Structure 1
Amino acid sequence: MAPGPFEAFRESLRSSEQVINIEDFDVEVVEAMLQFMYNFDYTSVNGASSMAFEAQVYQIADKYDIDSLKEHAKENFSTAVDIGWSMDDFPLAITLAYTTTPPGDRGLRDVVIQASHLHIDDLLSKEYFAEAQRLGEVPPVSTG
């Protein structure tokens, strides 16, 4: 039988304190996970950091094996990328899609690849995107 979504928490709950410490994620990301566990939805961060926020929610869902949260975060990430691909933090979203998920996980990667290919000419004309590529912060993209 495959482990359930709470398997990662089981050992912490056996302790006498009944406390779970999650220190490797921002508090807003943990709050989103907890909101989702109760409401099957969460409040997304609005503004320039929404792509990064959704990528981090996807990451915590992957870490704690919460597939429904992972799918929800992917949908929110896709919406954020559709709206924010021209923003200065799009290279960060690409980097997070590639560095916060296992190599075989295509979820967020396919979203940023699709947006990059769709808007490649515009992206390559932006200095912040070209600089991110030069620094190796985003994978190389092709115009062909």
Structure 2
Amino acid sequence: MILPRYHISPSLIPDAGQGMFLDQTVEPGSILIAPDAIPQTWTFSEVMAMPNARELLPATVRWFEDRYTISNDWPDECFVNHSFAPTGLWHLGFVFATARLGSGTEITVDYRHLLAPGQEEDFHDAESGQPIVGFTWKESLRASSQALLRLLD
């Protein structure tokens, strides 16, 4: 569920397609996206064993440890694009504002938190050109927990 008012428009990130943009100002640490209606999770190996795994991978997001959700109905949350300097902090399925974000700000997250450990995204980071490779669960949890604590101080 997306909490602030928003709209979907062409992304400001080259070749990213559509993006999600705020229609209001939010404060640092505010929840932008909260999980809802997660009926099932799968291990990454279960996802990879599915006959249509290749088409499901873009809609597969790590929820916690080795459990993944599949959102192949493409809700608006799927229009949150990647950045190594994101405006949103992904932490256990929630997305928090990383700073005071004004109306018109594109919401981005670091996809390394969403991918399987070592899984490489099909595209590179638009700004740096670097590959986007999934963190281990511990790396993701440690980094997002520390970043969230800094936001709340």
TM-score w.r.t. length of structure 1? 0.26
TM-score w.r.t. length of structure 2? 0.25
Q: Return the structure number with greater strand share.
A: 2
Q: Return the structure number with greater helix share.
A: 1
Relative contact order, higher structure (CA 8 A, sep 6+): 2
